Amino acid sequence: MVILGASTLESARLMLLSKSSAHPNGIGNSSNHVGHNFCEHVMGPGINGLVKDLVGKPRTLDDGRPGSFYLARFRNLTDKRSDFIRGYGFEGSSGTTMIPGNAFETLGFGSSYKKAVRDYAGAYISMGAFGEVLPRYENGVSIDPVVKDKWGIPVLKFNYKFSDNEKKMAADMAASAREMFEASGIEVVSVNREILTEGWSIHELGTSRMGSDPKTSVLNQFQQSHDVPNLLVVDGSSHVNASCQNPTWTIMALCWRSCDHIAEELRKGNV
């Protein structure tokens, strides 16, 4: 039994490099899907705002209080949008911290600057979005024919670009962030509309996708290779899409399922 968990990109690299007469395209790759359907999260758009009621208030102890928040996905659940599919969530934070971040944003100098930093610290609230990058066959990684790492092993070559869906979703992130802050009575300080470059989220997923059909997927529901039954891939490779959440818990849950399956097969004497 070989259990591969080198993380999404390195697992794909290892599988694509593991060629033999039985596996000419790399191990477990009869479907030609290893390295494809690479996906992650589109980030960048977000908002910074000011809660005016908190300006100049006595300092409070905010450590251990839930000043950070998560806004779960709300787009395309009931009312469907016409410009993009799927959705995004927001992660945000507020409250007093040990070092006032607004000291580096507040303009000016002298006693007015010092007082502004003091009065406005703890009155800011900000959030940024994590959106789903759609899995597409053409988005992926392959073995670079030229570049090798310092051990002489070929590196991965990326063929990965955001599509219109991600760009339209990102535009909506900025717009909905503003809408929510304005509706909440939060003064909008700045709205960021820029998309961070591809790969920024470092939530790499989906290079050996899971599925029931060996012709169109690499792994089964137990993250076990369709082609090579004693090979399991237990990182983010099996994800069929990125959704919009941090993937670690899903990776852990799927790994748990894989372990249960192995234990059960061992008990039956099949392993």
Q: Is 104 in the site for another protein (CB under 8 A)?
A: yes
Taking CB under 8 A as the binding criterion, the range among 98-106, 190-198, 210-218, 246-254 that sits at the site for another protein is 98-106
**Min dist. Cβ of residue 123 to another protein (A):** 13
Report how far residue 207's alpha carbon sits from residue 210's, in angstroms, rounded to the nearest whole number: 9
Distance of CA 34 to CAs 1, 3, 26, 40, Å? 20, 16, 8, 16
Q: Establish if 174 lies at the interface with another protein (CB under 8 A).
A: no
Alpha carbon dihedral 174, 179, 181, 186, in 10-degree steps, equals 120
Binding mask 34-73 for another protein (x = CB under 8 A): -------------------------xxxxxxxx-------
Answer yes or no whether residue 109 interacts with another protein by CB under 8 A.
Answer: yes
Beta strand extents in the chain (DSSP E only): 2-4, 41-50, 69-71, 88-94, 124-132, 140-148, 154-159, 187-192, 231-233
Of the pair 16, 121, the CB lying nearest another protein is at: 121
Q: Which of 20, 78, 111, 197 binds another protein (CB under 8 A)?
A: 111
Q: In this chain, which of 117, 143, 240, 262 binds another protein, going by CB under 8 A?
A: 117
Q: Which two tokens stand for residue 70?
A: 């998560």
Q: Which of these segments, 3-11, 97-105, 155-163, 186-194, binds another protein (CB under 8 A)?
A: 97-105
Q: What's the CA dihedral at 199, 200, 206, 207 to 10 degrees?
A: 30
Q: Which residues contact 163 (CB under 8 A, 6 or more apart)?
A: 134, 136
- Between 76 and 96, name the residue whose CB sits nearer to another protein: 96
Interface positions with another protein (CB under 8 A): 59-66, 96, 98-100, 103-104, 107-111, 113-115, 117-118, 121
